[in-house]
A and B are shown apart, each in its own frame.
Chain A
Amino acid sequence: MEVWEWGSGDSSTLSHPHTSIPLYPLPYPHTPILPYPHTSPLSYLHTFILLRIDKITKRFPGVLANDQISLEIEAGEVHALLGQNGAGKTTLMNILYGLYQPDSGQIYFKDRKVKISSPRKAIELGIGMVHQHFMLIPDFTVAENILIGFKQRGPFLNLKRVEQAVAELSHRYRLQVDPTARVQHLSVGSRQRVEIIKALYRGAELLILDEPTSVLTPQETHELFQILRTLTAQGKSVIFITHKLNEVMQVCDRATVLRNGRKVGTVKIQQEGPEKEVIKENLARMMIGKEVSLETERTALKKKPVQFGKEVLKVEELEAVNDQNRLVLKKISFSVRAGEILGIAGVAGNGQSELVEVLAGLRKAVGGRVFLNGQEVLNEPPRKLLEGGIAHIPEDRLRMGLVLDLPLPENAILGSFHKAPFSFKIGNALPGPRWLNYTEIRKFTERLIISYDIKTPHPEATMRMLSGGNQQKFIVGRELTRSPKVLLTVQPTMGLDIKATEFVHQKFLEQRENQVAILLISTELDEILALSDRVAVLYEGQIVGLLPADQADREILGRWMSGL
């Protein structure tokens, strides 16, 4: 292999302010984008191994999260990391980012053996990570967020310089972000761009993205892919974790599949051509581990005709404001009948979150009426609504759905701890505390874990120890077993693998057959079209269209969603 200095080149313009890693090897801004490093035009023809990990093993009490995993990442590639929930993807990436130490195994970065003892070390090496759950401070501006945790020279913040550098970075990689904006006002997509810029600003050459698309709308996903292409064209490498094979086929060069902590194999992806479908099937098979065809799985989702009951949830002229006191729900009316799934499609940020929050009693509406089983319940407290039969699978599972520092049993009874059999009272008429019945609580938790196939080291593990997808499964399972009358769900399959997604969809249909009224809010049209009986589109706080599902198609919905 040709010998050259990594990053040597025309770094005269600007160098990274705090490390020696050159930030702007390209004369900014009007040179055409060349493969990096452009000093050696031929070098990109050779594959250059940027990162090699060798037999990494990581054990947690009760689980072998990574078992002898070896992997190579080439310079300039997008490398997908696939695997079912709990397969060990996040753990492996946390090791690369210095958050965990491997029990054994080596890491080579640019052919040098390295020990990544902390995220700081990872950043110094040039490894950046965007977590499954963002780590930005909402009250800070973009530039301030980018500075956090950064070694400063001298006591004063040089925000101006950061802002300038951020502006240049965002231009260079086509990442549109305003460095002076406050993060709390940004959409999820832009927050993610901030995270990416943050990594790039610190000189990342390898960017780890943990399930970046699970929170994005299709449009934002598309933009992200553009960004990834720009990045790799300039020699950066990306590790991309996802559960969606279509995305892998769109942007990735290679894909590695993990199963139960072991590596199953690495596959070269052909983004075009006849072999595409074969590769896709193959990846799915590698992930799941049995001989299943995707097609048969798909058709297994069978919607039985259901006799709809009465209107269980009825919303009339509902109005609500968001946290910035802007009117985001403008006289919305709809109803959901027992046994019906009403899908609400729309680009995120058009009032979906606020709608569900109002219906779950978490946000006060400013006008309108809501009826639950014929009873007016507008602005009633959450407890009353839960008692009335509402179950809620929230959008932000970490914040609203779980207590990460409590064990699974305590999480399993959130929302039903005050009822039998989880708690009881000695002498019913007497005042006094309600006693928790841990035997029942544990039994319930164990049943939940088994019937929803939740992967956990132990039924009393702390919630934090579960993988992202398993946390989601836990919430879905918990809410569905409460035998609700109305189910409010936002992005219910966020972060779930293919199998789990199918499973949850199946469960939703079962609930529907049991005469539960389901309000399904999702940015994924596939999900909406597969499950719903009727589809509505929310655009700028209004329902701009409502159709029976058999008359809805992507084209009409797409038009409505973009406000045409």
Chain B
Amino acid sequence: MKKPVEKNTEKNRKVQEWRRGRSFLFLYSPLLSFFLAILLAFLLSSLLISWIGASPLLAFKALILGAFGSLNGFTETLVKATPLMLTGLGLCVAFRSKVWNIGAEGQIHLGALATTLMGVYLPHFPSFISLTLTGLASFFAGGFWAAIPGWLKIRWGVNEIITTLMMNYIAILGINYAVHVPLKEPGGFLPQSALIQPSVELPILVERTRLHAGILLGIAGAGVLHILLARTTLGYQIQVVGLNPDAGRCSGIPVGKIILIAMVLSGGFAGLAGMGEIAGVHHRLLENFSPGYGYTAIVVALLADLKPLAVILVSILFAALIVGADTMQRVAGVPNSLVLIIESLIVLFVLGSRALSYVRHPLFFVKDNGQRTTEGKLRIS
């Protein structure tokens, strides 16, 4: 290609101007509106708190101190954030390709199952090797569980919302059965599996807390996914398939394959979340080890606007609410369930603040996945 020789032509000036203009286009700040929305949610909940006769200030102080005020609280927040983060990351990928994977809960369970099997039956290796193998096993177990609905969708057009949801029941109930019968700890009375061997346990990061290395996996995963989505052809294809599959097909993108990859990635991250719970927290498979992380993670991913780096922040926020709720109840006498209300308010306000930034044009309403087009904002990733 020829290098432009002329310096001050009209065209060159135009290009210069564009390049300068680029910075101005990033003025629009989603972070600011996010924090404003949270602030509003708290303001509104403080009305509720005073209405039931408690002190909002005390309650929020307890909430925040409970979640971040002590080493124990803070690490506990991070422990709870880990599965939300890992699962939410995976969902970012699926949702970007507009595949509505509601089955993260089941995929977490599959990952947990794989971890348990590895932990119980794997011959003894050095911890590093065991953990790598277990990680791969749970990633692919979760990925496999997500690939089934993905395949049904691309092969026969079966609605993935229904299939992923149904597969949750199979996974959850299947594991309940497993811990009652085949995997039940030999000689034990409780419905739980045997303990996994120490070499499959995730290392504890801070002595005398439950904080395990899963959180590092989450943060690293966010970085990897961010780069994958923003910088690689795979991420590009996922984005195109999500926004206009027909155009993707026309330009040679194998749409079915991309959907399948997105599903496997999504289920894989959920599987890693399952591994974190078993190898990091419980060290054995139990019934109900996940209080619905897979569902909360849907909200996390959407609130993070399907941006992996934002998932880190949002998942910690949600975990903090869960952890702080107990303290709030104890100290300020505000019922635990109020936190659910606050959570919902945050969700509503954040989504609301986004709706406000939509251009008022029916064509511009980019509906239901939390992605949007605004006049000022350009880069998706």
384-437 of chain A: CB within 8 A of chain B: 385-387, 392, 394, 399-407, 410, 413-415, 417-418, 423, 433-436
Q: Is A294 an interface residue (CB 8 A)?
A: no
Q: Establish whether residues A410 and B244, one from each chain, have CB atoms under 8 Å apart when the complex forms.
A: no
Partner of B247, one of A383, A401, A446: A401
Q: Is B240 an interface residue (CB 8 A)?
A: yes
> Shortest Cβ distance from A212 into chain B, in angstroms?
18
236-268 of chain B: CB within 8 A of chain A: 236-237, 239-240, 243-244, 246-254
A-B contact count (CB 8 A): 116
Residues of A within 8 A of B239 (CB): 406, 410
Q: Establish whether residues B363 and A464, one from each chain, have CB atoms under 8 Å apart when the complex forms.
A: yes
Given A400-B246, A460-B25, are A99 and B361 also a contact pair (CB < 8 Å)? yes
Residue pairs across A and B with Cβ atoms less than 8 A apart, 19 shown, are A61-B376, A119-B362, A135-B362, A360-B250, A382-B250, A383-B254, A400-B250, A405-B373, A407-B379, A410-B236, A414-B251, A415-B250, A415-B252, A417-B233, A433-B234, A434-B233, A436-B236, A460-B379, A464-B373
Q: Establish whether residues B378 and A460, one from each chain, have CB atoms under 8 Å apart when the complex forms.
A: yes
> Shortest Cβ distance from A275 into chain B, in angstroms?
37
Q: Establish whether residues B375 and A61, one from each chain, have CB atoms under 8 Å apart when the complex forms.
A: yes
Q: Is A49 an interface residue (CB 8 A)?
A: no
Given A435-B231, A436-B232, are A403 and B18 also a contact pair (CB < 8 Å)? no
- The size bracket of the interface on B is 35 or more
> Shortest Cβ distance from A297 into chain B, in angstroms?
22
> Shortest Cβ distance from B103 into chain A, in angstroms?
26
Q: Establish whether residues A462 and B378, one from each chain, have CB atoms under 8 Å apart when the complex forms.
A: yes
**Assembly CA distance A405 to B237 (angstroms):** 14
334-372 of chain B: CB within 8 A of chain A: 360-364, 366, 371
Q: Establish whether residues B251 and A386, one from each chain, have CB atoms under 8 Å apart when the complex forms.
A: yes
Question: Chain B contact residues: over half helix, strand or loop, or mixed?
Answer: helix
Q: Establish whether residues A461 and B232, one from each chain, have CB atoms under 8 Å apart when the complex forms.
A: no
Q: Establish whether residues A417 and B236, one from each chain, have CB atoms under 8 Å apart when the complex forms.
A: yes
Residues of A within 8 A of B15 (CB): 446, 450
Partner of B240, one of A406, A423, A461, A464: A406
**Assembly CA distance A226 to B254 (angstroms):** 46
* Closest Cβ neighbor of A461 among chain B residues: B378
**Assembly CA distance A101 to B254 (angstroms):** 41
Q: Establish whether residues B233 and A450, one from each chain, have CB atoms under 8 Å apart when the complex forms.
A: no
Residues of A within 8 A of B11 (CB): 450
Q: Is B228 an interface residue (CB 8 A)?
A: yes
Q: Is B380 an interface residue (CB 8 A)?
A: yes
Partner of A403, one of B25, B247, B376, B379: B247
Q: Establish whether residues A383 and B252, one from each chain, have CB atoms under 8 Å apart when the complex forms.
A: yes
Residues of A within 8 A of B373 (CB): 405, 462, 464
Q: Establish whether residues A405 and B371, one from each chain, have CB atoms under 8 Å apart when the complex forms.
A: yes
Q: Establish whether residues B18 and A459, one from each chain, have CB atoms under 8 Å apart when the complex forms.
A: yes
Given A399-B247, A414-B247, are A460 and B360 also a contact pair (CB < 8 Å)? no
Q: Is A62 an interface residue (CB 8 A)?
A: yes
Partner of B250, one of A394, A446, A461: A394
Given A94-B361, A99-B362, A399-B246, are A406 and B232 also a contact pair (CB < 8 Å)? no
> Shortest Cβ distance from A34 into chain B, in angstroms?
37
Q: Is A60 an interface residue (CB 8 A)?
A: yes
Residues of A within 8 A of B18 (CB): 446, 458-459
Q: Is A100 an interface residue (CB 8 A)?
A: yes
Q: Is A218 an interface residue (CB 8 A)?
A: no
> Shortest Cβ distance from B93 into chain A, in angstroms?
13
Residues of B within 8 A of A435 (CB): 231-233
**Assembly CA distance A44 to B251 (angstroms):** 54
Q: Establish whether residues B380 and A405, one from each chain, have CB atoms under 8 Å apart when the complex forms.
A: yes
Residues of B within 8 A of A386 (CB): 251-252
**Assembly CA distance A392 to B250 (angstroms):** 8
Residues of B within 8 A of A402 (CB): 244, 247
How does the 8 Å CB contact mask read for A69-108 relative to B, with 1 for contact and 0 for none?
0000000000000000000000000100001110000000
Q: Is A381 an interface residue (CB 8 A)?
A: yes
Residues of B within 8 A of A458 (CB): 18, 21-22, 25, 378
* Closest Cβ neighbor of A413 among chain B residues: B236
Given A383-B252, A407-B378, are A433 and B228 also a contact pair (CB < 8 Å)? yes
Residues of B within 8 A of A399 (CB): 244, 246-247
* Closest Cβ neighbor of A101 among chain B residues: B360
Partner of A414, one of B25, B228, B240, B361: B240
* Additional A-B contact list (16), CB under 8 Å, known A410-B239, A464-B373: A61-B25, A119-B362, A362-B250, A405-B243, A405-B366, A405-B371, A406-B240, A414-B240, A414-B247, A414-B248, A423-B233, A433-B228, A434-B234, A436-B231, A458-B18, A460-B378
Q: Is B330 an interface residue (CB 8 A)?
A: no
Q: Establish whether residues B233 and A62, one from each chain, have CB atoms under 8 Å apart when the complex forms.
A: no
Select the residue from A383, A387, A406 with max chain B CB neighbours within 10 A. A406
Residues of A within 8 A of B22 (CB): 458, 460
How does the 8 Å CB contact mask read for B152-181 relative to A, with 1 for contact and 0 for none?
000000000000000000000000000000
**Assembly CA distance A450 to B251 (angstroms):** 23
**Assembly CA distance A464 to B239 (angstroms):** 16
Residues of A within 8 A of B376 (CB): 61
**Assembly CA distance A413 to B239 (angstroms):** 13
Q: Is B282 an interface residue (CB 8 A)?
A: no
Select the residue from B228, B234, B249, B251 with max chain A CB neighbours within 10 A. B251
**Assembly CA distance A460 to B250 (angstroms):** 22
> Shortest Cβ distance from B369 into chain A, in angstroms?
11
Q: Establish whether residues B243 and A418, one from each chain, have CB atoms under 8 Å apart when the complex forms.
A: no
**Assembly CA distance A38 to B246 (angstroms):** 51
Q: Is B14 an interface residue (CB 8 A)?
A: yes
Residues of B within 8 A of A401 (CB): 247, 250
* Closest Cβ neighbor of B359 among chain A residues: A100
Residues of A within 8 A of B250 (CB): 360, 362, 382, 392, 394, 400-401, 415
The 6 closest A-B pairs by CB, nearest first: A383-B252, A415-B251, A433-B232, A414-B251, A434-B233, A400-B250
**Assembly CA distance A418 to B360 (angstroms):** 36
> Shortest Cβ distance from B359 into chain A, in angstroms?
8
Partner of A450, one of B14, B252, B379: B14
Select the residue from B21, B236, B239, B248 with max chain A CB neighbours within 10 A. B236
